[in-house]
């Protein structure tokens, strides 16, 4: 399994795990326009009236995964979140949160709310 497939699998497992925790999927791999400086958001989920933009990181250990969400990436995700909200006005007025799900196979998960 190459890195792309491994990452896609990790995103799927994380989404299912979050669904079991009461989250509902809104979008997956959301990307807004090339050249905008926005990055891809792995998962966008909602829980109650909170819209959660989630970065998934799969690494050999949880600590490495935690340190792999770089400042530049966080800024690109924020710009994508702004673009998502502009193109989906039904979420205006909702609470917004940026989370991270860290994964170490087999089946070690850590959900960090308000990760950045």
Q: Residue 90: pLDDT above 70?
A: yes
Angle at 84 between CA 52 and CA 71, to 5 degrees: 65
CATH of the domain at 17: 3.40.1350.10
CA dist 12 to 3, 50, 56, 84, 111, Å?
A: 14, 21, 10, 21, 15
Which domain does 75 fall in, by range?
3-112
- Reported as a single tens digit per residue, the pLDDT across 35-83 is 565 678 999 999 999 999 999 998 888 888 887 888 888 888 898 999 9
Q: State how far the Cα of 36 lies from the Cα of 34, in Å rounded to an integer.
A: 6
Question: What is the per-residue pLDDT for 53?
Answer: 97
Count of domains observed in the chain: 1
């Amino acid at each position: 399994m190459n890195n792309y497939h491994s990452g896609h699998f990790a995103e799927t497992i994380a989404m299912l795990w979050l669904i079991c925790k009461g989250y509902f999927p809104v979008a997956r791999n959301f990307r807004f326009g090339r050249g905008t400086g926005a990055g891809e958001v792995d998962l966008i989920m909602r829980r109650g009236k909170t819209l959660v933009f989630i970065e998934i990181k799969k690494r050999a250990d949880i600590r490495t995964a935690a340190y792999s969400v770089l400042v530049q990436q966080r800024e690109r995700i924020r710009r994508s979140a702004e673009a998502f909200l502009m193109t989906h006005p039904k979420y205006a007025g909702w609470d917004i949160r940026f989370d991270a799900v860290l994964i170490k196979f087999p089946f070690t998960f850590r959900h960090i709310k308000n990760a950045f």
